[in-house]
Structure 1
Amino acid sequence: MERKLVLASHGKLASGIRSSLELICGNQLTIETLDCYLTESFDLEKEVKAIMNTYRECELVVVTDLFGGSVNNEFLTQIDRPNFYLVAGMNLPFLVELSMQFQQAESLPKLIETTLESSKQTIQFCNQSITNQMDEEEF
């Protein structure tokens, strides 16, 4: 079954992250983006239904910017669809790791779980991390 990755956000975060992701990883994946609310006539419900219809025969992973935000909530209405996986909290480390294994992974849910867990370690308060590292080196 074909796999598809969609990034969806308020404003241009989704297309910006795709740009960074392609710079780091190359264009090995075709990633669709949905930049929401850029015009007054934007219809989120219509856009989400169009994406879901276009990829109804695919394993579909959608990554949104904010859990509980309107973009995430609209995709949540589709959560019972087979082969649909929704992740909130879009960030570059998660997407780099996910995209590197996206096509080869046996199980998308398992890949998402392990990638989420490892990408959490990339969020650091650098001042504290460096201070802790220097303290450890003094012993």
Structure 2
Amino acid sequence: MERKLVLASHGKLASGIKSSLELICGENTEIETLDCYLSEEFDLEKAVNELMIRHRDHELVVVTDLLGGSVNNEFLAHIQRENFYLVAGMNLPFLIELTMQLQLAESLSMLIETSLTAAKQTIQFCNQLISNEVAEEEF
């Protein structure tokens, strides 16, 4: 079964992060974006339902920008669907890890879990990190 990745966000975060991701990892036809609320007539429920129908025959990973936000909540309505995986908290390190192995990994659930673990390690307060390194060097 073919795997697809959808990045969905309020505003243009999804397309912007896809641009950065492809700059680092190369173009990827398995990635689609859903930039929400760019016009007043945007209908989130309709957009999500159309996307879910279009990908009904795929293993689908959707990464949204914000847990509890309207975009994430709309996808939550589909959480019981088979071969559907929803992740909130879109960030570039996670997406790099995920896309590099998306077609190779046997278990999509395991890939998501390991990608999340690796990405969490990259979120650092650099001032404190450098301060701690300097303190260790002075010892």
Question: Which TM class, normalised by the smaller chain length?
Answer: over 0.9
| Structure 2 equivalent of residue 51 of structure 1 | 51
Show CA shifts across 1:32-73 (max 9, x none).
000000000000000000110000011000000000000000
State the number of aligned residues: 139
Q: Structure 1 CA distance, aligned partners of 2:24 and 2:138?
A: 35
Give me the CA root mean square deviation: 0.8
| Structure 1 residue ranges without an equivalent (≥5) | none
Q: 4+ residue stretches of structure 1 with deviation over 6 A?
A: none
How far does the alpha carbon of each residue in 1:5-42 deviate from its partner, in whole angstroms, 9 at most, with x for none?
00000000000000000000001443100000000000
Letter in 1 for 2:52: M
Q: State the AA in 2 paired with 1:121.
A: Q
The share of aligned pairs that are identical, in percent, is: 74
> Aligned partner of 1:93: which letter?
P
Deviates more, 1:46-55 or 1:26-35: 26-35
* Alpha-carbon separation, structure 2, partners of 1:56 and 1:137: 55
Residue 17, structure 1, aligned to residue 26, structure 2? no
Whether contact under 8 Å (2:15, 2:34) holds in the other structure is yes
Matches within 5 A, 1:1-139: 1-139=1-139
Q: Which whole-Å CA distance do the structure 2 matches of 1:138 and 1:25 have between them?
A: 39
